Amino acid sequence: MALVVFVFATILMLAEGLRKTLVDTGSYDNVIVIRRASTTEVQSGIDRYQASIVETQPEIAIVQNGRRLAAKELMVIINLPKRGSEKPSNVTIRGINEQSLLLRPQVKLIEGRMPKTGSYEVIAGENITRRFRGCGMGEKLHFGMRDWTVVGAFRAGSTGFNSEIWGDVDQLMQAFRRPVYSSVTFKLRDASDFEVLKERIETDPRLTLEAKREIQYYADQSEMMTKFLRILGMSLTIIFSIGAMIGATITMYAAVANRTSEIGTLRALGFQRRNILFAFLVESMLMSIIGGFAGLFFASFMQFLTISTVNWQTFSELAFSFTLTGGIVYESSIFSIVMGFLGGVFPAFRASKMNIVDALSTR
Amino acid sequence: MHILKLIFRNTLRHKLRTALTILGITIAILAFGILRTLVSAWYSGVEASSSARLITRNSISLVFSLPLSYKEKIRQIPGVKGVSYAIWFNGAYISEKNFIPNFAVEPKTFLELYPEYVLPEDQKTAFIRDRKSAIAGRKVAERFQWKAGDTIILKGTIFPGAWEFVLRGIYYGAEKSADETQLFFHWNYLNERLKKTTPRRADQTGVYIIAIDDPDRAAEVSEAVDKTFKNSLAETLTETEKAFQMSFVTMTQAIVTVIQLVSFLVIIIIMAVVANTMSMTARERIGEYAIMKTLGFGGWHIAILILAESLVITMTGCVLGITLTFPGAEYFGKTMGNFFPVFDVSAMTLLLDVAASFFVGLIAAAFPTWHAVNIRIAEGLRRIG
């Protein structure tokens, strides 16, 4: 029983962790503009001309010095070997400008400094520094025929940015020989302006672009993963709960059979049929809730694990951890009680239907 | 003979309990079978790859392309038998939810290099001759009810625009492991249009597929290819097709590991259920065992009785579970069809099924057996069930 709840809770936690990572990555009043029909930044391409049109839209928030809070960014994927296993995986590189950090308040520098504009310097997300070779502080990465020095590490809560490497956008564009941006991200002056802006950008004949709220953009990216996890999780949960219910039923039937004479005695003493029914049901539910708590207890340790995998839609590395929320604790407890009830209901009925004389006469 | 009869009678003594236990095992084996199939579906690309083919890609990562001029240079390298090239197009059919892997390829050399994709001769010629044509795998054609001559429009995600193709043929796999869900069309068709719209991206390809004379020289040839393009703007990375496919699997290793872990958890859980049943059974019959011992039956006799009963239960469940695995996997494969091109129950899975249920039966019965064998006659007789 404990095992079943463990699996149930773990899968819920996994899905929750993934959802949280991707949803936290975006913020509601940020808008991301990518080329129409491309689903991710990697596929997208926006040339300088189009990017500057987007950048001058009046709805964009303005910060000090009258500058607009918009970042024209480049996003590509490179292969880097993991520490230890040396197996390569895909890592996202994001070319940033000065505004990028302001747009994403979740991102905090924890070590070193920001890369200087115009230099071959990069900073790496927390998940990357630890797990990929050449991404630690002061180490050098080689790509695009150049060596790039890692001058800092940043932490970005539990967001997808943790699995990225950031560097100066113009330098990266040069190195990769890719004279187009991938996306333009900006903050809205007023979050409710979005519809108007979207309409204008998407109907402008000079632009072949599409605007999305950042939250929506990241939720779309994980759609396939979450769907996969959900189908897998549901089928597993059903299978496991049937197994657990069968276990509970067998045990309870045996309990009833063992205590036949006790039941008879209780009935003879004047306890009602429903008292007996109730007693067995409670026993079964108690049993499964103890199992449930044990399962949750072990599942809570899973929070220390971080899972990393490649998201098929973006084709890049994404690390996320199991997340235990109050909702999951609640759901798992309900789940185990229901299992206990279903497993115990038939044996309890049998117990309550016993004939007093027959029950007493069995040895 | 008598002992067999006794075993079966014993098994059927608590009909309900036995039935429930068998049901439990059936479900566990079913789950185990499907999970194993899922794992092997993950590796299907690796299974289907040939050791006589190498894949050359841009060393930075797959999203970067390689210039077409590399083709002739690669062809000159000793040990190379043939070169073809392909580019990942990732067009969406109607909506992005209808995921079809689609590639722009050089049709003639590509079909030569992939003998496992079989096309009728007339369709093959039609495909090679018509620059606007495409071929699709049997499974994907069935899914969208395409037939030769249909017009298919893909919405480009990497290459913007609507792309129109005429389906000229439907290929099927020569082996079971071949992926029958893909769509291939002419690289030239893509390139001509790119020359007009974005000349920057024209004359580029995603990967080169290299056929080599001798699979044993794969490492040598790969090295020679990479050396040729060292220090150029687009350095290459060449690996065997197997390694190339494997790199996709390792990237999602975490998920595979989770599934594998869960599949073993299923077995452990069911072991607990069977062990529970067996120990209850044995406890109830301690008196009988004592009587049998009094009558002169040896310890091993009793051990066989319990073990065999446990095995009868698990094996029945196993057989039922395996029979259910096939329709189960088929259904599962359909729901998940977009994710996995090949979803077949392998012989290995079945073997594992049988082995797992055998061990479950054995281990579940171990403790009750040990107890029943070791109990002293007087003690056993004194016990009141």
Q: How does pLDDT run across B47-101, given as a tens digit for each residue?
A: 778 888 999 998 888 888 899 999 999 999 998 999 999 999 888 888 777 778 8
Distance CA A26, CA A186 (A): 12
| Segment B10-20 mean pLDDT | 81
- Asked whether the predicted pLDDT for residue A97 surpasses 70, the reply is yes
Distance CA A182, CA A184 (A): 7
Best of A224, A239, A253, A313 to mutate (most B CBs within 10 Å, chain B): A239
- Asked whether the predicted pLDDT for residue B341 surpasses 70, the reply is no
pLDDT tier at B188, thresholds 50, 70, 90: very high
CB atoms within 10 A of CB B49: 18
Phi, psi of A280 (to 5 degrees): -70, -40
- Asked whether the predicted pLDDT for residue B306 surpasses 80, the reply is yes
In chain B, residues 313-332 whose CB comes closer than 8 Å to chain A: 332
Q: What is the pLDDT of residue A362?
A: 66
Kindly provide the residue ranges of all beta strands, DSSP E only, lying in B113-173, ordered along the sequence.
117-118, 133-137, 151-156, 161-173
Segments in chain B forming alpha helices (H) = 2-11, 15-42, 44-48, 70-75, 107-113, 121-129, 138-144, 187-197, 218-228, 241-251, 253-284, 286-294, 299-335, 347-374, 377-382
Name the nearest CA neighbour of B211 among B106, B79, B73, B118: B79
- The alpha carbon of residue B58 is apart from the nearest alpha carbon of chain A, in Å, by 10
- Asked whether the predicted pLDDT for residue B382 surpasses 50, the reply is yes
What 3-state class would DSSP assign to B88?
strand
DSSP states along A2-28:
HHHHHHHHHHHHHHHHHHHHHHHHS-T
Q: What is the pLDDT of residue B385?
A: 46
| Segment A317-324 mean pLDDT | 73
pLDDT tier at A123, thresholds 50, 70, 90: very high
B62 to A315: CB separation less than 8 angstroms, yes or no? yes
B276 to A251: CB separation less than 8 angstroms, yes or no? yes
ipTM: 0.71
AA identity, residue B355: A
What 8-state DSSP symbol labels residue A163? G
Distance CA B322, CA A215 (A): 44
B20 to A76: CB separation less than 8 angstroms, yes or no? no
The answer to whether A154 and A167 have CB atoms below 8 angstroms apart is no
Give chain A's mean pLDDT: 83
Would the pTM of this model clear 0.80, i.e. be above it? no
pLDDT tier at B187, thresholds 50, 70, 90: very high
∠ Cα B25 B28 B29 (to 5°): 85
* Chain B residues close to A294, C-beta within 8 Å: none
Read off the pLDDT of residues B118-161 as tens digits, 9 standing for 90 and up.
999 999 999 999 999 999 998 888 888 998 899 999 988 888 88
| β-bridge mates for residue B118, sequence order | B172
Q: What is the residue extent of each domain of chain A?
A: 2-16+223-361, 30-189
| Segment B303-327 mean pLDDT | 87
Query: Pick the residue with more confidence: A341 or A323?
Result: A341
Name the nearest CA neighbour of B279 among B366, B363, B368, B362: B368
What 3-state class would DSSP assign to A288?
helix
- Asked whether the predicted pLDDT for residue A343 surpasses 60, the reply is yes
How are beta strands A306-311 and A70-81 bridged, if at all? Answer: unpaired
pLDDT tier at B332, thresholds 50, 70, 90: confident
How are beta strands A306-311 and A316-321 bridged, if at all? Answer: antiparallel
User: How many residue pairs bridge chain A and chain B with CB atoms within 8 Å of each other?
Assistant: 128
CB atoms within 10 A of CB A97: 16
- Asked whether the predicted pLDDT for residue A272 surpasses 80, the reply is yes
CB atoms within 10 A of CB A202: 14
